[in-house]
Structure 1
Amino acid sequence: MKEKIVKVKNRLGKNLSENVISRYITFSALYTAQGIPEGVTYFALPAWLAMNGKSAMEIASLVSVMLIPWSFKILIAPLMDRFTLLSMGRKRPWVIFGQLGLIISFLNLGLVPDPLNNISGLMIAGFLVNFFGAFQDVATDGMAVEVIPGKEQARANGLMWGSKTIGLSLSLITGTWLINNFGFTFAVFSLATAVVIIMIFPIYFKERPGEKTLPWTPGKASFGAKRIQLKSWKHIFKSLYKVIILKSSLLLCIGIFLLGIMFGLVDTLLPIFSIQELGWTNSNFSNILSVSSVIGGFSGMFVGGYLVDYFGKIRMLTLYLVLVTSLIALFAFMTNLWSSIFVTIAFILSYTTLYTFLCIAVFASAMHLCWKTVAATQFTLYMALSNMGRATGASLLGLLKTNFNWETVFLTIAIIPFILVIIIQFINLKRHRIIVNSFDAIPYELATPPIIKN
């Protein structure tokens, strides 16, 4: 009987470093919080603007500006690695701050006057939403790399990205309906309520035993947090340089940037193509993309992580990239079938599912390459490159569509994953891990407190 009580206690514990269920729930919730404003700013808002006759260049410019803050992540991460309220954990204080900023900036987006005729106002407000979204993302990823054991990373990424996709999808479909029926301000304020509720998770759950829940509550810095906390900027940047110049890390940097360009192109393309080329309404687009994303999200949560664990990261990345290349190229040559809603829905469903699986495999690989000493900064560098690519891709869409037809645009996009298939074959995750292990005086598996090993 006592054993059962202990097991239940472990399952419901509030320390992320020693409780697998708490880790999965908390990081899934935090990624859902990121997906809600992204669903509004990247899809519902552009679709609404496209429905009201705004040009591809205007919409692409708006999206590219909103994506810019995600490139700033590399400037934020070293700050988080260097400074923190250690008694509350290495990254949790920053997670709370980022979540609070996300709530306030998201509410501010709903206050933009005359949004249909105020693209500059939307740019500024959207920029702020994405700045705090990026801030929260950096802190969340840094905390994840530190408290999630290597054996759980692929599975955790599946749950996290599945949750983000579902949050994005539900906010897209709900936000579009609310915009059309109650107006832009009411829609944003309603969805912000969910982001407020999610604040409960980073406040309640702690990184390690003995730490403070809030600054004024009892507790102190844990041994594990103090041992890996860096004391100087010089140490941070020397350590980052030491690990980032390794061959596999450099190749992943190139690959992630190129993949980001593809994501940015397709994300910006979909609402414009479906509404202005195919004649859909913004409601039709939102409903179809939302349902497709939910299917892709659930598939990623329950299948994506396991596939990467079972078959290996590079093998699954290769397969996903080959499938994406084939899918986009095939759709480009099916111009006579674009008018068939079933063909286009099949394309969107296939792409969103592969997108989720790709994100899971890429981010699990990035976590595997990270050195815990500079985990937040290193992982953020990878993600910043991805988001720089997204912003680049979003801005390129306007130029491509102005000079070429849709068929050529799709074929151009299909070249990117084909190039990536070649690049990732030269990434050796095992060799990289051996080299990184040699940087530490203790083995990688012991680089965090033993209590993480359930």
Structure 2
Amino acid sequence: MGSTKTTLPALSENTILRYFNFIALYFAQGIPEGMLFFGIPAWMAMNGKSAGEIASFAIACGLPWSFKFIVAPLMDRYTILSMGRKRPWVIFGQLGLMTSFILMAFIPDPLNNLDTFMLAGFIVSFFGAFQDVATDGMAVDIIPPDEQARANGFMWGSKIIGTSASLALGSWLLNQYSYTVSIASLSGLVGTIMLVPIFLRERPGEKTMPWTAGTASLENKQLQLTNWKAIFKSLYSVFKLKNSLLLAIIGFLIAGSINYMDILLPIFTVKELGWTNLTYSQVFATTSVVGGIGGMLIGGLLVDKFGKKRMLNIYFFVWIASTVVLFFMKPFWANTIFINGYMFAYSTLSVFCNIGLFAIAMQCCWKKVSASQFTLYMTISNIGRIAFAALIPPMKANFSWEITLLGFAGIVLVSWVLLQFLNIKLFVKNVEKLENKDIERRGMLSTIIDV
């Protein structure tokens, strides 16, 4: 086929297009999460499924997010470099996400076919995680350091809005029409968003598609690693740093605490408070959208102005305090305004905490192993999601709702203590030292080759 020319600037050249690209891709990430982690669990609860069955579905959907580290080194090692370092993988992930959604839509009688239902959720989540790895790697490569906090605000806000929109639309279609119509409609949204990475290149002169004209950029050629030993050696060097390990542990605890509460909320509101799945979906979607918009508008700005660590300290404190209030105010649980207020505070702080943690992780990544390092943090975080989801059945079986909900505050409290020992400036300096040593080594090798 002939070449295709585009007049659009590359992502590396244009700030507005960079923001637009990552807003769209993170919105797409939120689409499967809205139904898999919120809408479907509430639907299952309304249809009489047990907390154990709902948690099993959530674990099946969460597992692929813990396998992300398997695909991340592949993305650092292999690519169609003439199309960009991570962009080919982003397109493939979007295509897989759309296709798996379509397949999931046509499972017969999913509520009574739970094994197949969980397998389908696993596959959709796999491609969602796949797209996430590629998108994060692209973000670390393309977004300049002075834009990273604000970009994370846009990205996480967009993801929450995508999650909320998917939850609200998917749940409405589920109740008004059918399961098949609901899930199939979401695949159409994912397919539409796939047009964004198809038409926006990473760097000038690259191909938009394999059959179009273009060449690999010099910068990408210099960043691209060509052997496994170099990838894993570099990754080990940066990950073994004290602050890197500490960041990974904090990520494990915070992601686990969020997933713990995310799974509890639909069960709590439907089974304990008597809400319908549609009522829960509408309330959670609304509070999440408000939190997402807040993240987009001020989340990144607050981190830029007052510092990542300082803002995380504030977020963790308010998170703990609001949950302790929920614990002591059981007589007010029947008050819709009270519960809505807690869900609003929880959802908003979830967005703001993720913006801060992701900005730290992105700032401290070594670009040559960006996908692998960032994904390793996210993989450890998602292991936390599974670990704390698995706590829900025994917690609910042995403790009251008050203690079960207070468990969330306990996990955040441990994270808050560990945060005090994290030194971001030292972390960045150590990564810079590794980069300088690598440049010196490559310079010496080049000299030897020339001689």
In the alignment, the residues of structure 1 paired with residue 256 and residue 158 of structure 2 have an alpha-carbon distance, to the nearest angstrom, of 23
Q: What residue in structure 2 maps to residue 438 of structure 1?
A: 433
Q: Specify which of 272, 294, 300 is matched with residue 267 of structure 2.
A: 272
Deviation for aligned residue 1:14: 3.1
The SS at the match of 1:17 is coil
Q: Specify which of 333, 347, 365 is matched with residue 370 of structure 1.
A: 365
In the alignment, the residues of structure 2 paired with residue 64 and residue 399 of structure 1 have an alpha-carbon distance, to the nearest angstrom, of 15
> 1:151-230, aligned counterparts within 5 Å?
151-230=146-225
Q: What residue in structure 2 maps to residue 389 of structure 1?
A: 384
Deviation for aligned residue 1:441: 3.5
Q: Specify which of 380, 396, 400 is matched with residue 395 of structure 2.
A: 400
Q: Deviations over 1:146-180 (max 9, x none)?
A: 00001100100110111110111011111111001
Is 1:341 aligned to residue 336 of structure 2? yes
In the alignment, the residues of structure 2 paired with residue 323 and residue 443 of structure 1 have an alpha-carbon distance, to the nearest angstrom, of 42
Q: Specify which of 125, 131, 135 is matched with residue 136 of structure 1.
A: 131
Q: Specify which of 72, 76, 93 is matched with residue 88 of structure 2.
A: 93
Q: How does the TM-score come out when normalised to structure 2?
A: 0.94
Q: Deviations over 1:283-341 (max 9, x none)?
A: 11001000000000000000100000010111111111111111112111111111111
Structure 1 pair 158–443 and aligned structure 2 pair: CA distance change class (3 A): farther
The runs of at least 4 consecutive aligned structure 1 residues that moved more than 3 Å come to: 441-444
Q: What residue in structure 1 maps to residue 323 of structure 2?
A: 328
Is 1:295 aligned to residue 290 of structure 2? yes
> 1:212-251, aligned counterparts within 5 Å?
212-251=207-246
The SS at the match of 2:377 is helix
Q: Deviations over 1:194-230 (max 9, x none)?
A: 1110010010000101111100000111000000100
The SS at the match of 1:16 is coil
Q: Specify which of 40, 43, 47 is matched with residue 38 of structure 2.
A: 43
The SS at the match of 1:206 is coil
In the alignment, the residues of structure 2 paired with residue 13 and residue 218 of structure 1 have an alpha-carbon distance, to the nearest angstrom, of 15
- Any conservation in 2 of the 1:263–1:393 contact (CA below 8 Å)? no
Q: Deviations over 1:410-446 (max 9, x none)?
A: 12221111111111111111111112112224999xx
In the alignment, the residues of structure 2 paired with residue 34 and residue 186 of structure 1 have an alpha-carbon distance, to the nearest angstrom, of 20
- Any conservation in 2 of the 1:31–1:164 contact (CA below 8 Å)? yes
Q: Specify which of 409, 420, 426 is matched with residue 414 of structure 1.
A: 409
Is 1:146 aligned to residue 166 of structure 2? no
Q: Deviations over 1:250-295 (max 9, x none)?
A: 1001111111210121011010000000000111100100000000
Aligned residue identity for 1:327? S
In the alignment, the residues of structure 1 paired with residue 43 and residue 431 of structure 2 have an alpha-carbon distance, to the nearest angstrom, of 48
- Any conservation in 1 of the 2:83–2:209 contact (CA below 8 Å)? yes
Aligned residue identity for 1:15? A
Q: How does the TM-score come out when normalised to structure 1?
A: 0.94
Deviation for aligned residue 1:237: 0.6
In the alignment, the residues of structure 1 paired with residue 313 and residue 368 of structure 2 have an alpha-carbon distance, to the nearest angstrom, of 29
- Any conservation in 2 of the 1:88–1:206 contact (CA below 8 Å)? yes
In the alignment, the residues of structure 2 paired with residue 264 and residue 295 of structure 1 have an alpha-carbon distance, to the nearest angstrom, of 19
Q: What residue in structure 2 maps to residue 82 of structure 1?
A: 77
Aligned residue identity for 2:196? F
Structure 1 pair 406–164 and aligned structure 2 pair: CA distance change class (3 A): same
Aligned residue identity for 1:37? P
In the alignment, the residues of structure 2 paired with residue 77 and residue 155 of structure 1 have an alpha-carbon distance, to the nearest angstrom, of 25
Q: What residue in structure 2 maps to residue 127 of structure 1?
A: 122
Deviation for aligned residue 1:64: 0.9
Q: What residue in structure 1 maps to residue 445 of structure 2?
A: none
Deviation for aligned residue 1:181: 1.0
- Any conservation in 1 of the 2:11–2:203 contact (CA below 8 Å)? yes
Structure 1 pair 442–216 and aligned structure 2 pair: CA distance change class (3 A): farther
The SS at the match of 1:339 is coil
Aligned residue identity for 2:362? M
In the alignment, the residues of structure 1 paired with residue 43 and residue 318 of structure 2 have an alpha-carbon distance, to the nearest angstrom, of 31
Identity of aligned residues (%): 53
Q: What residue in structure 1 maps to residue 256 of structure 2?
A: 261
Unaligned runs of 5+ in 1: 1-11, 445-454
In the alignment, the residues of structure 2 paired with residue 335 and residue 118 of structure 1 have an alpha-carbon distance, to the nearest angstrom, of 37
Aligned residues: 433
Unaligned runs of 5+ in 2: 1-6, 440-451
In the alignment, the residues of structure 2 paired with residue 108 and residue 326 of structure 1 have an alpha-carbon distance, to the nearest angstrom, of 43
- Any conservation in 2 of the 1:47–1:275 contact (CA below 8 Å)? yes
- Any conservation in 2 of the 1:13–1:19 contact (CA below 8 Å)? no
Q: What residue in structure 2 maps to residue 8 of structure 1?
A: none
Q: What residue in structure 1 maps to residue 3 of structure 2?
A: none
Cα RMSD of the aligned pairs, angstroms, is 1.2
In the alignment, the residues of structure 2 paired with residue 147 and residue 47 of structure 1 have an alpha-carbon distance, to the nearest angstrom, of 38
The SS at the match of 1:63 is helix
Is 1:52 aligned to residue 47 of structure 2? yes
Q: Deviations over 1:66-106 (max 9, x none)?
A: 10000001111001001111111100000011110000011
Deviation for aligned residue 1:122: 1.2
Q: Specify which of 13, 16, 22 is matched with residue 17 of structure 2.
A: 22
- Any conservation in 1 of the 2:107–2:117 contact (CA below 8 Å)? yes
The SS at the match of 1:440 is helix
- Any conservation in 1 of the 2:366–2:435 contact (CA below 8 Å)? no
Deviation for aligned residue 1:121: 1.5
Is 1:115 aligned to residue 115 of structure 2? no
Q: What residue in structure 1 maps to residue 27 of structure 2?
A: 32
- Any conservation in 2 of the 1:32–1:166 contact (CA below 8 Å)? yes
Deviation for aligned residue 1:107: 1.1
Aligned residue identity for 1:150? P
In the alignment, the residues of structure 1 paired with residue 55 and residue 326 of structure 2 have an alpha-carbon distance, to the nearest angstrom, of 22
In the alignment, the residues of structure 1 paired with residue 438 and residue 297 of structure 2 have an alpha-carbon distance, to the nearest angstrom, of 31
- Any conservation in 1 of the 2:312–2:353 contact (CA below 8 Å)? yes
